[in-house]
């Protein structure tokens, strides 16, 4: 026989649900939907969700105000970080971090120019591995003309795939354009 207190509260099983990391308590229900509110409702949170019986799914009605978490957008304005590594004792050790605010050739040239200027030496790297960005590779070739520039294979494949999709979309446009735009023969 189970001891007292080990049996779950039956009312709590029917009146609470967890959705996207929040605990919700049943506010009211009808034959079409059940509305739940955040369990922090008494502390001022206005988060609510609806469970629609016809679709058997949840939908968020009001956002939560009880969370202290910072929610970031999926698309953010990112700044590029350029890191210069030196092979010392068999491991790559970061030597310089440069935060880039632009992605044009002059900005890359300035970033690369400050590395030899900061060392007070004439650098002659054998090879440089970087993204497959034309502006970056041109800036590297300008600063270090005898250096082999190796582009990242992932970014090269990504650029190739994007160019193939662009060519495919253009050819589909040419094939599917309306007849009145076609040149007369």
Rounded Cα gap, residues 41 and 35, in angstroms? 13
The chain-wide mean pLDDT, for the chain, equals 73
Is residue 46 scored above 60 in pLDDT?
yes
Q: pTM of the predicted model, to two decimals? A: 0.43
| Residue that wins the pLDDT comparison between 183 and 149 | 149
Rounded alpha-carbon distances, angstroms, from residue 64 to 10, 17, 36: 27, 15, 12
**Percent of the chain clearing pLDDT 90 (strictly above):** 0
C-alpha 169, offset from chain centre: 25
| pLDDT value for 162 | 75
Q: What is the pLDDT of residues 116-163, one digit of tens each?
A: 887 777 888 888 878 777 888 889 899 888 888 887 777 677 777 777
- pLDDT-derived band at 22 (thresholds 50, 70, 90) equals confident
Rounded Cα gap, residues 148 and 124, in angstroms? 11
Beta bridge partners, 106, equal: none
| pLDDT value for 64 | 78
- End-to-end CA distance of the chain: give it in Å, rounded: 93
Is residue 49 scored above 50 in pLDDT?
yes
Is residue 62 scored above 50 in pLDDT?
yes
């Amino acid at each position: 026989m189970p001891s007292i207190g080990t049996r779950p509260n039956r009312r709590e099983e029917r009146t609470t649900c967890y959705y996207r990391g929040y605990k919700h308590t049943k506010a009211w229900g009808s034959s079409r939907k059940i509305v739940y509110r955040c369990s922090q409702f008494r502390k001022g949170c206005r988060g609510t969700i609806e469970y629609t019986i016809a679709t058997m799914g949840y939908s968020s009605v009001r956002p939560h105000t009880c969370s202290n978490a910072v929610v970031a957008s999926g698309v953010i304005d990112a700044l590029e970080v350029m890191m210069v590594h030196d092979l010392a004792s068999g491991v790559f050790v970061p030597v310089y971090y440069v935060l880039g605010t632009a992605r044009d050739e002059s900005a890359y040239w300035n970033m690369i120019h400050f590395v030899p200027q900061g060392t007070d030496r004439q650098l002659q790297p054998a090879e440089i591995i970087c993204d497959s960005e034309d502006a970056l590779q041109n800036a590297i070739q300008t600063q270090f003309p005898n250096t082999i520039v190796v582009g990242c294979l992932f970014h090269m494949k990504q650029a190739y795939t994007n160019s193939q999709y662009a060519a495919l979309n253009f050819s589909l446009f040419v094939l599917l354009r309306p007849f009145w735009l076609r040149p007369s023969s």
